[in-house]
Structures are given as C-alpha cells and as structure tokens.
A and B are shown apart, each in its own frame.
Chain A
C-alpha cells in the first residue's frame, strides 16, 4: 500500500522474543509453555520477599548470538529496574537492560536488498499472564482477573530497529527475516501464535525527505497480518488527521485485530514514570573476548547465506519454487532439503515436501531423521509411493519417527511397487485396446486416460509419473 499525496511512512519495530532456554532468566524454574498454572514458580520468579535473581548463562549467550547475527557490538552492559505496579509482575518492577544493552548497533539485510539498521538488542524478563473473568473475557468490563506466574521471569530479548522501514510489506519482510535469524541461532522457535514473538511498531508519516513526524507506538501486534494491517491503518490515520488540519499526538495506541483499528491507550502526558535505576541485586555483564569467541564459533549460518546456498543448487527458476525456498529458509528446514538434493531427489519435490509437509509439523521435525526424509522422497520419485502415500508416510515419520519402508509396508502400500503397477497396466491395455493403439501411435493425451483408469483401480494409490513410465516402457 502506498500513501496518497506524496506521504511516506516511517516505521521502526521493537520485536520481543522469548528465549528458548531450559530455565527462566533468574531462577531454575522450567521455561515451559502450556504447563498447569503456577506450577513452574519459585521464590525468585514469584518475587517472594528475600529472594534474589541470578542470571542464566544460556540466556546471555543466546542474546549475544542474536547480536552477532545482527552485526551488533557486544558491549559491557548492566541491568536496571523498571518500576511500575501491575498484578502480573511479581516484584512490581521488571528487570531489564536500559542505557547499557548487551548488543549495540548493527543491521539486518532483507531479501529485497534493503538494509534496516538495528539500534540495540537487550535482555529483559517476561511477566505472568492474566485471564479476565466476567464481562467479555477481555480486560475491559471484567470483574476479576486471575494470574498465572509460569511465564514470569522467562528471558526475553527486545530487538529495536532504526526508523528505516518505509512500508508495511517491508516491515513484514523484516520480521520474517529476523524470525529466521532467531530460529537459526536457536534463540526462539519463532511462533507468533504462542507469543514467542511480540511486536510494537513506531509509526509516523512525513512528506518525502522532510524531517520525521510525531510518532505513535502501536502495541499488541501478535501476527504478521496484524503487523501489516496496523501499520497501514495507522499511517493512513495520521495522513487523514494531518490533511484535515490536525496534528499527530505522541501516544501509545492499541491495535484491535477484530475492529481493524488502533485506539489511544496512553498519551505522552499519561506515560508512566518508571524510575529506572541500576538493579543492585545483579552485577555488571562484560563478556570477554574468549566468551564471545566461544559463542561466535557455535553460530550456524544465517538465513541470507543459507538462502543463496540453497538457491545456487536449484536450477529451475520457477516462482513457486522460490516461495518454497523462502519458507524452507525461514523455518530452518534447509538441512533436510540439502540432504535430499545430495541423494538425488529432484529440487522441486524436495522443496515442496519440506515447505508443505515438514513446515506443517515443525515439532515433528525433531523426530524426523534426514535419511528417512530422503528415503521417502526417493520412493516417491521412483514411483514406489504415490504423492498421497508419500505425504502419509511423512506425517507418520513426523508424528512417531521410524523407517519409511516399514511404515509403507505397514500401511499396505507395497502392492504399488513397480511389479504390481506393471500387472495393473498390462490388464488395462487388454481391457482398452483401441485407446492403447492410439497411445502407442503417439497420442500423448491418452496417457491421462490410462492414469485415470489406474487411479480408479488402485483407489488413488498410484503414482502418475510411474504410470507414464510404465506405459512408455510398453509402447
């Protein structure tokens, strides 16, 4: 979407990601999603009197890894207390890095060639979760709220971009690329629907090359769709306001996905006074060169590099294949694709199965051996499995693991081996001699007729390509 009358939007994003550590930021409680309420809590993350925080080494290393992937400087850093009263925050302050973050500066290059600068990426802790009773189940109109502190103290990294984004599509591309980096570093599983990624957008508008306008911060962007819609809505709202002779007020606005609009949450005057000061219960962080080197050495290749590596192996420049490349890179599935290509699987098939079947069950990929993936695809390519059967085998492998040959046998797919296909085709040639003659004389359209007949006989369990191969062999 472009803005009318020469207006340009200026967007900066703050992306919060929960880190995939075993334990919370400051205590040994499990960092788990979806446990029974208030079962992963202890004196520290409940903020009980007398408890003290101790930093999780892994959280620091994941934060450093994110910074390294974003070309940031790993800097000596401190922790502050951000003071405000809220029931989901057990200490009534949040421990967060403030003026001295662990990662300073940096940039992220997007697939379209644009570069977005990174201002900082800092560590902080998450809050508990409230559910609201009475009213509509939302915060407004509720009589009573219930708080679960399982998420309290889970480590977060907040990545703050520069105001370099100029469209909602670019904002989306930035988040997708960043998500790829977070998955690659092992920092996050990148699942927006589970709240692993939460985004605030700072939006302003200006005439091209004019100084920045007054910005509004949009909260509660929990999906890529919300992000794009909210930015477009907000930029248009600001343009309307200015063209009607009004001025944009600096404020925090809330995105309502159902209404499709932003609304005022807090004006600048109502902003909290957080009374930041150095957290006296923690000491400073100053990772030395050897610690940084150790983290850097474990850093896997980032999406941009992996994208070009993968593209270089794929000869067919079909648009859908390129989309599949994006999905595969974003979700970190390229090792499967590379393994399949190494074993001689056709690129289009390897990409399709990774971008569809594997992407549909990311949890399951931890159970799936690359060799099993390759074997399944080779069986499909050789015609031993139909596309439908191959997908079924993959689903089973993702759900429970195992050997694809055993699964195929167990599901009774072996009758579709080339022998049984051969006898099926032979039977049909006898049954439809006229059609067979026309096909043999060069009418390729008849191949489709025979495929249809084979499918009918085998109840859809045959592989089209294998049928054609069988027909050609008998021509």
Chain B
C-alpha cells in the first residue's frame, strides 16, 4: 500500500475533478498528497480481513418518506440564482459530448 504517486496521476485526478493546475501546483500537490498517502500506510498494520464498512454508526435502516407532494420553489427564485438563463431554463455554453 505504498504510494507511488506520480505527477501524471495528479494531473489525471485534476482532470477528473475539473480543476486546472499550474506546473508549480502539480509539483506541490504531488509532494503533499504523497505525504498524506504515505501517512496512510500506517493503516496497513491492522489486520482488516473480513471487517465490514460501517454505513451508519447507529444502524439506521429503511428511512423513507410518504409519496406526498410538497410545494416546489417559485421559478423566479430558482432562476434568480442562475449565472445565466433563457426561456425559463438554466443556460450553459455548448456541451461537448453526450451524457455518459
């Protein structure tokens, strides 16, 4: 579980996260993230075979609500938040690809 974190890994992650990093930031993050991941290697000392992840600390399950309509927001309020809108819709510059 050592962390062979490379500069290109950091660049790939930045693309996934929709962040642009300068060369200096790439270097800095490569080093700093490497440190955190290296610190995380101490977890390897525990025998975690068969341990299950905990979802809710107090074991809540089956939390549901009734299928009953509640008021929606006023459209004017909704669109007032939008950086750009047109025809009562949120406007964005062109979308380059189909939804995955």
Binding site for B on A (CB under 8 A): 21-23, 27-30, 36-43, 46, 54-60, 78, 84-89, 127, 130-134, 139, 142-149, 219, 252, 254, 265-266, 272-273, 275, 278, 282-288, 291
Contacts and interface: CB of A to CB of B under 8 A. Distances in A.
Given A29-B72, A145-B94, A283-B55, A37 B88 contact: yes
Contacts of B72: 29-30, 39-42
Interface of B is mostly: loop
Contacts of B55: 78, 278, 283-284
B44 interface: no
A152 to B, nearest CB: 11
Nearest to B64: A57
Which secondary structure dominates where chain A touches chain B? loop
Contacts, number: 140
Given A86-B100, A139-B95, A23 B88 contact: no
Contacts of A56: 64-65, 67
Interface stretch (B1-9, B23-31, B73-81): B73-81
Contacts of A43: 73
Given A21-B67, A59-B67, A266-B100, A146 B78 contact: no
B67 A58 contact: yes
Contacts of B46: none
Given A41-B72, A58-B67, A146-B87, A283 B100 contact: no
A270 B92 CA distance: 24
B99 A142 contact: no
Contact of B16 (A28, A54, A273, A288): A273
Given A30-B69, A85-B18, A284-B55, A37 B61 contact: no
A215 B68 CA distance: 42
B93 A54 contact: no
B89 A146 contact: yes
A42 B73 contact: yes
Interface in B1-57: 16, 18, 53, 55-56
Given A147-B91, A148-B88, A278-B53, 4 more contacts: A29-B72, A38-B75, A56-B64, A283-B55
Given A28-B69, A284-B55, A54 B64 contact: yes
B61 A285 contact: yes
A87 B92 contact: yes
Nearest to A139: B95
Contacts of B93: 143-145
Contacts of A283: 55-56, 60-63
B91 A146 contact: yes
A472 B72 CA distance: 67
6 contacts: A38-B75, A38-B89, A43-B73, A84-B100, A139-B97, A146-B90
Contact of A284 (B56, B70, B95): B56
A29 B100 contact: no
Contact of B68 (A22, A39, A55, A282): A22
B56 A22 contact: no
A314 B64 CA distance: 45
A85 B16 CA distance: 9
B95 A131 contact: no
Given A58-B67, A287-B62, A41 B89 contact: no
